[in-house]
Structure 1
Amino acid sequence: MSRFLLNIFFAFVWALASGELSLPNLILGFALSYFVLWLTQSIMPPTRYFGRLSSAIRFVGYFLWQLVLSNLRVAYDVVTPHLYMRPGIVTIPLDAKTDEEITLLANFITLTPGTLSLDVSEDKRYLYVHAMFVDDVDEFRDSIKNGFERRLLELMR
Protein backbone atom coordinates (compact mmCIF):
# COMPACT_ATOMS: atom_id res chain seq x y z
CA MET A 1 0.00 0.00 0.00
CA SER A 2 1.38 3.42 -0.88
CA ARG A 3 2.21 5.77 1.96
CA PHE A 4 -0.33 8.31 0.75
CA LEU A 5 -3.17 5.78 0.89
CA LEU A 6 -1.91 4.59 4.26
CA ASN A 7 -1.87 8.20 5.42
CA ILE A 8 -5.48 8.71 4.29
CA PHE A 9 -6.52 5.42 5.90
CA PHE A 10 -4.97 6.45 9.24
CA ALA A 11 -6.65 9.86 8.99
CA PHE A 12 -10.05 8.15 8.66
CA VAL A 13 -9.19 5.80 11.52
CA TRP A 14 -8.33 8.84 13.64
CA ALA A 15 -11.57 10.60 12.74
CA LEU A 16 -13.68 7.52 13.43
CA ALA A 17 -11.87 6.76 16.70
CA SER A 18 -12.36 10.31 17.92
CA GLY A 19 -16.06 10.10 17.08
CA GLU A 20 -16.26 13.11 14.77
CA LEU A 21 -15.98 12.70 11.01
CA SER A 22 -15.37 16.33 10.05
CA LEU A 23 -12.92 18.08 7.75
CA PRO A 24 -10.85 19.66 10.55
CA ASN A 25 -10.64 16.29 12.30
CA LEU A 26 -9.60 14.56 9.06
CA ILE A 27 -6.90 17.19 8.50
CA LEU A 28 -5.64 16.70 12.04
CA GLY A 29 -5.66 12.92 11.55
CA PHE A 30 -3.79 13.33 8.26
CA ALA A 31 -1.14 15.50 9.91
CA LEU A 32 -0.73 13.14 12.86
CA SER A 33 -0.52 10.05 10.68
CA TYR A 34 1.96 11.81 8.38
CA PHE A 35 4.15 12.50 11.41
CA VAL A 36 3.90 8.88 12.58
CA LEU A 37 4.71 7.56 9.10
CA TRP A 38 7.64 9.95 8.91
CA LEU A 39 8.96 8.64 12.25
CA THR A 40 8.65 5.03 11.08
CA GLN A 41 10.22 5.50 7.66
CA SER A 42 13.49 3.88 8.80
CA ILE A 43 11.74 0.51 9.33
CA MET A 44 9.68 0.66 6.13
CA PRO A 45 10.80 0.39 2.49
CA PRO A 46 12.16 3.65 1.05
CA THR A 47 9.75 6.03 -0.64
CA ARG A 48 9.64 9.54 -2.12
CA TYR A 49 6.33 10.33 -0.40
CA PHE A 50 7.73 12.68 2.21
CA GLY A 51 9.60 14.77 -0.35
CA ARG A 52 6.59 14.93 -2.62
CA LEU A 53 4.27 16.24 0.07
CA SER A 54 6.57 19.17 0.74
CA SER A 55 6.76 19.76 -3.04
CA ALA A 56 2.95 19.67 -3.20
CA ILE A 57 2.67 22.22 -0.40
CA ARG A 58 5.16 24.51 -2.14
CA PHE A 59 3.30 24.13 -5.45
CA VAL A 60 -0.07 24.93 -3.89
CA GLY A 61 1.44 27.94 -2.13
CA TYR A 62 2.98 29.17 -5.39
CA PHE A 63 -0.29 28.65 -7.28
CA LEU A 64 -2.31 30.52 -4.64
CA TRP A 65 0.21 33.39 -4.69
CA GLN A 66 0.02 33.60 -8.50
CA LEU A 67 -3.77 33.46 -8.26
CA VAL A 68 -3.83 36.46 -5.91
CA LEU A 69 -1.34 38.46 -7.99
CA SER A 70 -3.11 37.83 -11.28
CA ASN A 71 -6.52 38.60 -9.76
CA LEU A 72 -5.18 41.92 -8.49
CA ARG A 73 -3.62 42.76 -11.85
CA VAL A 74 -6.80 41.97 -13.79
CA ALA A 75 -8.98 43.81 -11.26
CA TYR A 76 -6.71 46.87 -11.41
CA ASP A 77 -6.93 46.89 -15.18
CA VAL A 78 -10.72 46.66 -15.03
CA VAL A 79 -11.27 49.48 -12.51
CA THR A 80 -8.81 52.00 -13.96
CA PRO A 81 -9.78 54.14 -16.94
CA HIS A 82 -6.56 53.38 -18.83
CA LEU A 83 -6.13 49.86 -20.17
CA TYR A 84 -2.76 48.38 -19.26
CA MET A 85 -3.28 45.03 -20.92
CA ARG A 86 -1.11 43.97 -23.81
CA PRO A 87 -2.67 40.71 -24.99
CA GLY A 88 -0.69 38.16 -26.91
CA ILE A 89 -0.28 34.51 -27.75
CA VAL A 90 2.99 33.01 -26.56
CA THR A 91 4.54 29.68 -27.53
CA ILE A 92 5.95 27.89 -24.50
CA PRO A 93 8.47 25.07 -25.18
CA LEU A 94 7.58 22.16 -22.92
CA ASP A 95 9.79 20.05 -20.70
CA ALA A 96 6.64 18.18 -19.67
CA LYS A 97 6.44 14.96 -21.67
CA THR A 98 3.44 12.91 -20.51
CA ASP A 99 -0.18 13.72 -21.21
CA GLU A 100 -0.84 14.09 -17.46
CA GLU A 101 1.96 16.62 -16.99
CA ILE A 102 0.89 18.67 -20.01
CA THR A 103 -2.78 18.58 -19.01
CA LEU A 104 -2.08 19.67 -15.44
CA LEU A 105 0.21 22.47 -16.60
CA ALA A 106 -2.35 23.72 -19.12
CA ASN A 107 -5.13 23.60 -16.52
CA PHE A 108 -3.15 25.48 -13.86
CA ILE A 109 -2.26 28.15 -16.42
CA THR A 110 -5.92 28.44 -17.44
CA LEU A 111 -7.08 28.67 -13.80
CA THR A 112 -4.90 31.76 -13.35
CA PRO A 113 -6.87 34.89 -14.36
CA GLY A 114 -5.53 36.63 -17.42
CA THR A 115 -4.10 33.49 -19.04
CA LEU A 116 -5.64 30.77 -21.15
CA SER A 117 -4.04 27.63 -22.56
CA LEU A 118 -5.10 27.41 -26.18
CA ASP A 119 -3.50 24.34 -27.70
CA VAL A 120 -0.65 21.86 -27.63
CA SER A 121 1.41 21.22 -30.75
CA GLU A 122 1.02 17.88 -32.51
CA ASP A 123 4.42 16.69 -31.30
CA LYS A 124 3.63 17.83 -27.70
CA ARG A 125 6.69 20.06 -27.60
CA TYR A 126 4.91 23.44 -27.40
CA LEU A 127 2.00 24.90 -25.48
CA TYR A 128 0.22 27.95 -26.87
CA VAL A 129 -0.96 30.37 -24.20
CA HIS A 130 -3.02 33.54 -24.56
CA ALA A 131 -2.23 36.14 -21.93
CA MET A 132 -3.73 39.54 -21.17
CA PHE A 133 -0.44 41.03 -20.03
CA VAL A 134 2.52 40.24 -22.28
CA ASP A 135 4.91 43.11 -21.73
CA ASP A 136 7.97 40.99 -22.58
CA VAL A 137 7.50 37.64 -24.36
CA ASP A 138 10.72 36.13 -23.01
CA GLU A 139 9.90 37.22 -19.46
CA PHE A 140 6.40 35.73 -19.72
CA ARG A 141 7.76 32.48 -21.16
CA ASP A 142 10.35 32.33 -18.39
CA SER A 143 7.70 32.89 -15.72
CA ILE A 144 5.76 29.86 -16.99
CA LYS A 145 8.87 27.68 -17.45
CA ASN A 146 10.50 28.51 -14.10
CA GLY A 147 7.23 28.96 -12.26
CA PHE A 148 4.43 26.55 -12.99
CA GLU A 149 6.24 24.01 -15.14
CA ARG A 150 9.34 23.59 -12.97
CA ARG A 151 7.30 23.21 -9.79
CA LEU A 152 4.80 20.87 -11.40
CA LEU A 153 7.50 18.62 -12.81
CA GLU A 154 9.27 18.62 -9.45
CA LEU A 155 6.05 17.35 -7.95
CA MET A 156 5.16 14.85 -10.69
CA ARG A 157 8.56 13.22 -11.26
Structure 2
Amino acid sequence: MIKTKLLSNMLLAIIWVSLTGNFSAEGFVFGFLLSYILLWLISTSRRDDKYFTRGPKIIAFFFFFIYELVKANLQVAYDVMTPRYYMKPGIIRIPLTAKTDLEITLLANLITLTPGTLSLDVSDDKKVLYVHAMYVSDKEAFIHSIKNGFERKLLEILR
Protein backbone atom coordinates (compact mmCIF):
# COMPACT_ATOMS: atom_id res chain seq x y z
CA MET A 1 0.00 0.00 0.00
CA ILE A 2 2.80 2.40 0.87
CA LYS A 3 4.67 1.56 -2.33
CA THR A 4 1.55 2.13 -4.42
CA LYS A 5 0.92 5.55 -2.89
CA LEU A 6 4.59 6.50 -3.21
CA LEU A 7 4.66 5.50 -6.87
CA SER A 8 1.40 7.39 -7.48
CA ASN A 9 2.85 10.42 -5.75
CA MET A 10 6.04 10.27 -7.84
CA LEU A 11 4.05 9.76 -11.07
CA LEU A 12 1.89 12.78 -10.30
CA ALA A 13 5.01 14.81 -9.52
CA ILE A 14 6.55 13.80 -12.87
CA ILE A 15 3.31 14.78 -14.62
CA TRP A 16 3.41 18.12 -12.81
CA VAL A 17 7.01 18.74 -13.91
CA SER A 18 6.13 17.79 -17.49
CA LEU A 19 3.07 20.04 -17.62
CA THR A 20 4.80 23.06 -16.13
CA GLY A 21 8.04 22.57 -18.06
CA ASN A 22 10.03 23.26 -14.89
CA PHE A 23 12.55 20.39 -14.98
CA SER A 24 14.37 21.36 -11.80
CA ALA A 25 14.65 19.80 -8.37
CA GLU A 26 12.49 22.56 -6.94
CA GLY A 27 9.79 21.89 -9.51
CA PHE A 28 9.80 18.18 -8.72
CA VAL A 29 9.70 18.77 -4.95
CA PHE A 30 6.83 21.22 -5.36
CA GLY A 31 4.97 18.74 -7.58
CA PHE A 32 5.65 15.94 -5.09
CA LEU A 33 4.27 18.01 -2.20
CA LEU A 34 1.28 19.11 -4.25
CA SER A 35 0.49 15.54 -5.28
CA TYR A 36 0.98 14.37 -1.68
CA ILE A 37 -1.66 16.85 -0.53
CA LEU A 38 -3.95 15.84 -3.41
CA LEU A 39 -3.60 12.14 -2.56
CA TRP A 40 -4.23 12.92 1.09
CA LEU A 41 -7.40 14.85 0.24
CA ILE A 42 -8.86 12.05 -1.89
CA SER A 43 -7.85 9.28 0.53
CA THR A 44 -10.66 7.68 2.50
CA SER A 45 -8.58 6.32 5.39
CA ARG A 46 -6.16 9.12 6.24
CA ARG A 47 -5.65 8.24 9.89
CA ASP A 48 -4.91 4.57 9.30
CA ASP A 49 -2.74 5.02 6.22
CA LYS A 50 0.96 4.81 7.13
CA TYR A 51 1.96 6.71 4.00
CA PHE A 52 0.23 9.85 5.21
CA THR A 53 1.24 9.53 8.86
CA ARG A 54 4.92 8.79 8.21
CA GLY A 55 5.52 11.70 5.84
CA PRO A 56 5.13 14.48 8.42
CA LYS A 57 7.05 12.40 10.99
CA ILE A 58 9.98 11.99 8.61
CA ILE A 59 10.06 15.73 7.91
CA ALA A 60 9.87 16.53 11.63
CA PHE A 61 12.65 14.01 12.32
CA PHE A 62 14.81 15.59 9.62
CA PHE A 63 14.52 19.02 11.25
CA PHE A 64 15.06 17.50 14.71
CA PHE A 65 18.27 15.82 13.50
CA ILE A 66 19.52 19.04 11.85
CA TYR A 67 18.86 20.91 15.12
CA GLU A 68 20.76 18.30 17.16
CA LEU A 69 23.58 18.30 14.62
CA VAL A 70 23.99 22.08 14.72
CA LYS A 71 23.77 22.12 18.53
CA ALA A 72 26.46 19.43 18.87
CA ASN A 73 28.71 21.14 16.30
CA LEU A 74 28.48 24.43 18.18
CA GLN A 75 29.25 22.72 21.48
CA VAL A 76 32.33 20.97 20.09
CA ALA A 77 33.49 24.10 18.21
CA TYR A 78 33.15 26.21 21.36
CA ASP A 79 35.18 23.70 23.33
CA VAL A 80 37.90 23.61 20.67
CA MET A 81 38.16 27.40 20.38
CA THR A 82 38.27 28.22 24.09
CA PRO A 83 41.46 27.65 26.09
CA ARG A 84 39.67 25.64 28.81
CA TYR A 85 38.28 22.19 28.07
CA TYR A 86 34.70 21.56 29.10
CA MET A 87 34.75 17.89 28.16
CA LYS A 88 33.58 15.28 30.61
CA PRO A 89 33.94 12.11 28.54
CA GLY A 90 32.33 8.86 29.45
CA ILE A 91 30.97 5.61 28.14
CA ILE A 92 27.25 5.34 28.71
CA ARG A 93 25.13 2.19 28.75
CA ILE A 94 21.81 2.99 27.05
CA PRO A 95 18.99 0.43 27.38
CA LEU A 96 17.30 -0.09 24.03
CA THR A 97 13.64 -0.08 23.12
CA ALA A 98 14.62 -0.76 19.51
CA LYS A 99 14.46 -4.47 18.73
CA THR A 100 15.29 -5.14 15.08
CA ASP A 101 18.72 -4.91 13.49
CA LEU A 102 17.52 -2.05 11.25
CA GLU A 103 16.24 0.01 14.18
CA ILE A 104 19.42 -0.51 16.21
CA THR A 105 21.69 0.20 13.23
CA LEU A 106 19.89 3.42 12.31
CA LEU A 107 19.93 4.61 15.92
CA ALA A 108 23.64 3.82 16.31
CA ASN A 109 24.46 5.62 13.06
CA LEU A 110 22.43 8.70 13.99
CA ILE A 111 24.23 8.88 17.32
CA THR A 112 27.61 8.50 15.62
CA LEU A 113 26.80 11.19 13.04
CA THR A 114 26.28 13.70 15.84
CA PRO A 115 29.61 15.28 16.85
CA GLY A 116 30.75 14.44 20.35
CA THR A 117 29.13 11.00 20.42
CA LEU A 118 30.18 7.62 19.09
CA SER A 119 28.32 4.33 19.18
CA LEU A 120 30.74 1.69 20.38
CA ASP A 121 28.94 -1.62 20.68
CA VAL A 122 25.63 -3.40 21.07
CA SER A 123 25.24 -6.12 23.65
CA ASP A 124 24.82 -9.69 22.42
CA ASP A 125 21.17 -9.76 23.47
CA LYS A 126 20.56 -6.42 21.63
CA LYS A 127 19.17 -4.75 24.74
CA VAL A 128 21.99 -2.27 25.43
CA LEU A 129 23.88 0.22 23.26
CA TYR A 130 27.23 1.51 24.50
CA VAL A 131 27.95 5.11 23.54
CA HIS A 132 31.04 7.22 24.10
CA ALA A 133 30.14 10.85 24.70
CA MET A 134 32.43 13.85 25.12
CA TYR A 135 30.04 15.81 27.36
CA VAL A 136 28.46 13.73 30.12
CA SER A 137 27.75 15.99 33.05
CA ASP A 138 24.58 14.06 33.95
CA LYS A 139 24.40 10.42 32.89
CA GLU A 140 20.64 10.10 33.36
CA ALA A 141 19.95 13.28 31.37
CA PHE A 142 22.11 11.97 28.53
CA ILE A 143 20.27 8.63 28.48
CA HIS A 144 16.94 10.47 28.62
CA SER A 145 17.92 12.70 25.69
CA ILE A 146 18.81 9.68 23.52
CA LYS A 147 15.76 7.63 24.56
CA ASN A 148 13.23 10.47 24.16
CA GLY A 149 15.00 12.09 21.24
CA PHE A 150 16.57 9.91 18.59
CA GLU A 151 15.18 6.53 19.63
CA ARG A 152 11.56 7.54 20.22
CA LYS A 153 11.30 9.61 17.05
CA LEU A 154 13.03 6.94 14.96
CA LEU A 155 10.73 4.20 16.25
CA GLU A 156 7.67 6.36 15.52
CA ILE A 157 8.73 6.40 11.88
CA LEU A 158 9.73 2.75 11.58
CA ARG A 159 6.83 1.14 13.46
Q: What is the CA–CA distance in structure 2 between the aligned matches of 1:153 and 1:126, rounded to whole Å?
A: 16
Question: What amino acid maps onto 1:89 in structure 2?
Answer: I
- The size of the alignment, in residue pairs, is 156
| 1:14 aligned onto 2:16 | yes
Q: What is the CA–CA distance in structure 1 between the aligned matches of 2:102 and 2:11, rounded to whole Å?
A: 26
Q: What is the CA–CA distance in structure 1 between the aligned matches of 2:65 and 2:78, rounded to whole Å?
A: 20
Shift of 1:20: 3.0
The match for 1:90 among 89, 92, 97 is 92
Paired residue for 1:131?
A: 133
Paired residue for 2:71?
A: 69
Shift of 1:71: 0.6
Paired residue for 2:148?
A: 146
Q: What is the CA–CA distance in structure 1 between the aligned matches of 2:45 and 2:95, rounded to whole Å?
A: 42
Shift of 1:21: 2.3
Once superposed, what is the RMSD of the aligned Cα atoms?
1.5
* Aligned counterparts, 1:27-38, within 5 A: 27-38=29-40
Distance 1:43 1:108, change over 3 A: closer
CA deviations over 1:113-137 (Å, ceiling 9, x no partner): 1111111111111111111101111
Q: What is the CA–CA distance in structure 2 between the aligned matches of 1:117 and 1:78, rounded to whole Å?
A: 22
Gap runs ≥5 in structure 2:
none
Question: Which range moved further: 5-14 or 24-33?
Answer: 5-14
Runs of 4+ in 1 over 2 A off after TM superposition: 16-21
Distance 1:43 1:102, change over 3 A: closer
Q: What is the CA–CA distance in structure 2 between the aligned matches of 1:68 and 1:86, rounded to whole Å?
A: 20
CA deviations over 1:81-111 (Å, ceiling 9, x no partner): 0000111111111100111111111111111
Question: What amino acid maps onto 1:117 in structure 2?
Answer: S
Q: What is the CA–CA distance in structure 1 between the aligned matches of 2:18 and 2:121, rounded to whole Å?
A: 46
Q: What is the CA–CA distance in structure 1 between the aligned matches of 2:45 and 2:130, rounded to whole Å?
A: 47
- SS in structure 2 opposite 1:92? strand
- SS in structure 1 opposite 2:44? helix
- SS in structure 2 opposite 1:123? coil
Q: What is the CA–CA distance in structure 2 between the aligned matches of 1:54 and 1:61, rounded to whole Å?
A: 11
